[in-house]
Amino acid sequence: MQTGLRGRDFISDLDFSKEEVETVLDLAWDLKMKRAMGVSHASLRDKVLAMLFFFSSTRTRGSFEAGMAQLGGHAAFIESRTTQVSHGDTEKELGAIFGRYFDGIAIRHVDWGIGNNYLNNVASASRVPVLNMQDEIYHPHQCLADLMTIMEKKGRNLRRKKMVVSWAYASSYLKPMSVPQSLILQMPRFGMDVVLAHPPEFELMPEIMEQAQAMAKKYNAGFEVVHDMKEACQDADVIYAKSWGPLMTTHDQEEGKKIQDSYQDWYVNDELMALGKDDVIYMHPLPADRDIEVASSVLDGPYSVVFDEAENRLHAQKAVMALTMS
Q: Which CATH number do you get for residue 198?
A: 3.40.50.1370
Say what the pLDDT of residue 77 is: 96
Distance CA 166, CA 102 (A): 38
**Number of independent structural domains in the chain:** 2
Predicted local confidence at residue 144, as pLDDT: 98
pLDDT-above-70 percentage for the chain? 100
Residues 196 and 279 in one domain: yes
Question: Is 7 inside any structural domain?
Answer: no
Give residue 140's pLDDT. Answer: 98
Domain containing 50 equals 13-139+313-325
pLDDT of residue 88: 83
Position 2 in a domain: no
Tell whether 115 and 253 lie within a shared domain: no
Helix (H, G, I), strand (E, B) or coil at 163: strand
Arithmetic mean of pLDDT over the chain: 97
Which sign does the torsion angle of CA 35, 40, 43, 44 carry?
A: positive
Low-confidence residues in the chain, pLDDT < 70: none
8 is a domain residue: no
Please tell me whether residues 68 and 81 are part of one structural domain. Answer: yes
Q: Which residues contact 81 (CB under 8 A, 6 or more apart)?
A: none
Say yes or no: 85 and 204 in one domain: no
Check whether residue 133 and residue 144 sit in a common domain: no
